[in-house]
């Protein structure tokens, strides 16, 4: 279904299933073809491809994100240290318990930063925070927080490398280009990262960049969606995004490990030479 307001459009695939409890704010423009169980915020220019699942643990997905088919984000988890992992023990309506049993701690939220690319069939576990500009490789299983601009691959997910040098990443995180509309970024040489940063900084200084302040669509139960009008609800949606941004900004790239001292290297070399000498002496004997 297509929802239009002014020059903006949000597309929600009619085949997308929505849980009754799902309450979602979507910032225009966006395109969503996924099973929706999340209760939170999806930013402008983000698209979620078919077969993906936005689990109940997802709180926020930032702007300019690309989520490939089959990705699973923030889905439910089972109690590994209980007698059973089956969810009937948590729900009094399914089991014989008169009341819901307490968990050790409330489940943490999954947060996806801005300009994040999540590959096909990747899984981001509940409680994981993915920093701005990160890339999650196809089929990866991400079990811990991902620093900004890191490329994560494998099972379990590990950092393969960073997209840019540390200094460039710091400039990008300071610039936060995803705050601006795609129209006001037209003509930026994105293929040349350094030149693009300089150009965006210039436009920012000149005041020609337009901040995103686009309409918000509220998605409720199945087949229910409406444009947000009330100021208090708009503030609520922006508040969810703002709080999530604050968490992703803490995920700075890991500092490079200092080189090992030369004394340490010489010590290892001497041990190796002594070992070879002992072996040689033993053979002569």
Residues with active-site annotation: 78
Contact at 8 Å (CB) between 245 and 40?
no
Contact at 8 Å (CB) between 44 and 177?
no
CB atoms within 10 A of CB 203: 18
Angle formed by the axes of helices 166-175 and 193-206, to 10°?
A: 30
Backbone phi, psi, residue 52, to 5°:
-80, 160
The DSSP code sequence of 143-204 is -S-B-TTEEEETTTTEEEEESS-HHHHHHHHHH-GGGB-TGGGTT--TTSHHHHHHHHHHHH
Q: Are strands 141-142 and 123-124 parallel, antiparallel or unpaired?
A: parallel
The DSSP code sequence of 200-224 is HHHHHHHT-PPBP---EEEE-STT-
């Amino acid at each position: 279904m297509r929802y239009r307001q002014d020059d903006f459009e949000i597309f929600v695939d009619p085949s997308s299933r929505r849980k009754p409890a799902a309450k979602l704010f979507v910032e225009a423009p966006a395109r969503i073809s996924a099973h929706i169980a999340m209760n939170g915020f999806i930013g402008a220019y983000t698209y979620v491809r078919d077969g993906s699942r936005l689990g109940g643990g997802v709180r926020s997905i930032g702007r300019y994100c690309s989520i490939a088919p089959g990705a699973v984000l923030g889905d439910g988890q089972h109690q590994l240290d209980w007698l059973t992992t089956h969810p009937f023990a948590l729900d009094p309506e399914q089991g014989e318990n008169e009341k819901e049993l307490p968990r050790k701690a409330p489940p943490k939220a999954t947060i996806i930063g801005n300009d994040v690319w999540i590959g096909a069939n990747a899984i981001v576990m509940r409680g994981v925070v993915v920093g701005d500009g990160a890339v999650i490789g196809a089929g990866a299983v991400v079990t811990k927080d991902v620093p900004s601009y890191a490329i994560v691959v494998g099972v379990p997910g590990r950092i393969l490398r960073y997209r840019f040098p540390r200094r460039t990443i710091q400039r990008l995180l300071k610039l936060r280009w995803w705050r601006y509309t795609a129209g006001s970024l037209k003509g930026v040489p994105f293929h040349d990262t350094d030149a693009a940063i300089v150009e965006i900084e210039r436009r920012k200084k000149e005041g020609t960049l337009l901040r995103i302040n686009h309409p918000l669509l509220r998605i409720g139960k199945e087949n229910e969606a409406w444009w947000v009008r009330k100021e208090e609800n708009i503030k609520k949606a922006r508040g969810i995004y703002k709080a999530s941004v604050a968490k992703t900004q803490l995920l700075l790239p890991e500092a490079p490990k200092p080189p090992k001292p030369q004394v340490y290297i010489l010590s290892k070399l001497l041990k190796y030479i002594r070992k070879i000498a002992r072996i040689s002496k033993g053979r002569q004997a």
